[in-house]
Amino acid sequence: MSLKMPSAPNAGLFKQGYSAMSNADGAISRNASAVREISSMVATSMGPSGRNKIIVNKHGKIFVTNDAATMLQELEIVHPVVKILMQASKQQEFEMGDNTNYVIVLAGELLTIAEKLVTIGLSVSEIIQGYQIAVKHVVASLDSLVVDEAKSLTDDAELEKVIKPVISAKQYANEPLITKLVVEAVKFILNPQKPQSFNIDNVRVVKIMGASLRQSEVVKGMVFPREPEGSVKNITERSKVVVFTTPIDITTTETKGTVLLHNAQEMLDFSAGEEAQMDQMCKEIYDSGVRVVIAGSTVGDLALHYMNKYGLLVLKVPSKFDVRRICQVCGATPLPRLGAPTPDEMGVIDVIETKEIGGDRVTIVRQNESVSRTSTIVIRGATQNNLDDVERAIDDGVNAIKGLLKDARLLAGAGAVEADLVNLVTKKGETTAGVMQLAIKHFAKAFEVIPRVLSETAGADAAEFLSKLYAAHSEDTEDAKCAGIDIDNDEVGDIRQLGIYDLLATKKLAIELAVEATCTILSIDQIIMAKRAGGPVMPQQPRPGNWDQDD
């Protein structure tokens, strides 16, 4: 009697082509290895001395950046566990706009530690419980580690406390200039009476190649990278404006028709009615007091001719988002119909001018007297990659204001708060009974990764820096809380003098998301993946050879 070989597990349960990996196959170890790989890639880009990465996406576009959010967005990652971590990082980007790499690096370190704890005999449930106790203690302890607070939203120095450290992590050595631009742009749109109405979309960025970053400027209003359509290019006095979302052109019928013309006069008179109608419409717009026409769609040649006749400035804005923003700036109502607007539907623009910046003709819409809710930062640079990287730094700086409005309290940066958390969580672990004590103590060691990465990317000895940092934080004083890594002088310095702060709300959310993602990944004991959808792959046909080649 012949023996029957055992088939694959669950062979009759799933459709053919599935793949499964269980805990017995080392699922935790493989998951930790995958997360460690993405974490180590992001970690070297952390901090002011972080390295850049060159990423070529599926469309062939090249990115040179140290921004973790951009890297994760452009990389096509298929590992399901790494995708869980990416979702946590994206949530951090959506909520706070910064510390996305902090989430990934901390989660990678926590998983590496969990893998070692499993090896020495702890169960996964004990590790998860220990991590959850530790993170509750961390969140409660962060309030006691506050060292400063942004007291005024109208003071430049207070805003710089929040913005400058965020930008220096992306554009080290350029942070004073970029911070000044961001502060100026934010103060234009920030209403101290209603700070919660702040919207990050109201700070626009226009990139124009040429010159250097020092030639960048902030415009109160909007800048469009195109010039007006007609012959009128500038209006220097306060003018009324109308915004149309429909094409400004002769209306066409849905059906086609044939017209029989008998003589030349009939040909001349054929379009006279349409011309008279367009002339009348442009005259009505002019008589209503409007001097600027914003077109959200196409502008016909005939309409442009009559608008030039009446001296109307016509600016074409093809983007619906820009049309919405220009309506906010000038206070106009977008009209879906052609014709003269009512006084309520008109907006007001102080100055509209056409300038040449670096060989590009741009239209600048300024609001000098009235309060504008949109500001534009015009950045200059030598290469497109450099401009894109500066734009990401500005985006992070503006997002920092969003976090500031949620909680104005500040923590010590440059690895100072992490050194305090190591001590606090270790003490919590010593007072906890049972095997969870080991998980809590090892959780504390995970925070060492931040000062270690900061010192390594700066080219310093990480072990030496960590020993100096722990020595400085050994005392429970206010000066000890503010001891952080000074990468410029290769020593442990006072962050109050360096001006390096972290937002409490941003740091708290980043730690919570990192631990939540880690516990979710640890609780996975089996991965089951179905076969990818798609039709059958056709075999590649052999290419025909030369005509005189032998068969």
Q: Where do the structural domains in the chain lie, given as residue ranges?
A: 18-148+411-530, 221-252+268-371
So what's the pLDDT on residue 394? 87
| H helix or E strand, kind and range, residue 396 | helix 384-406
Our separate counts of H helices and E strands in the chain read 19, 19
Distance (Å, whole) CA 247 – CA 301: 12
Q: Cβ(477)–Cβ(454) under 8 Å?
A: no
Give me 376's structure tokens: 């534009």
Q: Which CATH superfamily is domain 221-252+268-371 in?
A: GroEL (3.50.7.10)
How far is the C-alpha of 417 from the C-alpha of 246, rounded, in Å?
55
| Top-tier CATH class for 18-148+411-530 | mainly alpha
| pLDDT tens digits for range 452-494 | 888 887 777 777 777 877 787 777 677 777 777 777 777 777 7
For residue 429, report the phi and psi dihedrals to the nearest 5 degrees: -65, -35
410 HSE (CA, 13 A, CB side): 26
* Helix residue ranges, H only, 407-541: 416-430, 436-446, 449-457, 462-472, 478-481, 495-498, 504-522
pLDDT score for 545: 52
Number of other CB atoms surrounding residue 182 within 10 Å: 29
The HSE-up count of residue 135 (CA atoms within 13 Å, CB side) is 22
Strand partners, 101: none
Give the model's confidence band at 141: pLDDT under 50 very low, under 70 low, under 90 confident, else very high. confident
CB neighbours of 547 closer than 8 A, spacing ≥ 6? none
| Per-residue pLDDT, 1 | 44
CB-count burial class (<10 Å; 0-12, 13-18, 19+) for 524: middle
Q: Which residues of 369-381 are buried (b: 16+ CB within 10 A; e: fewer)?
A: eeebbbbbbbbbb
Whether residue 63 contacts residue 74, with contact meaning beta carbons closer than 8 Å, is answered with yes
Query: Which tokens in the block code for residue 170?
Result: 């992306």
CB atoms within 10 A of CB 341: 22
273 or 283, higher pLDDT? 283
Residue 551 pLDDT > 50 = no
Q: What is the pLDDT of residues 108-124, one digit of tens each?
A: 888 888 888 888 878 88
Percent of the chain with pLDDT over 70: 88
Residue 456: CB atoms within 10 A of its CB come to: 17
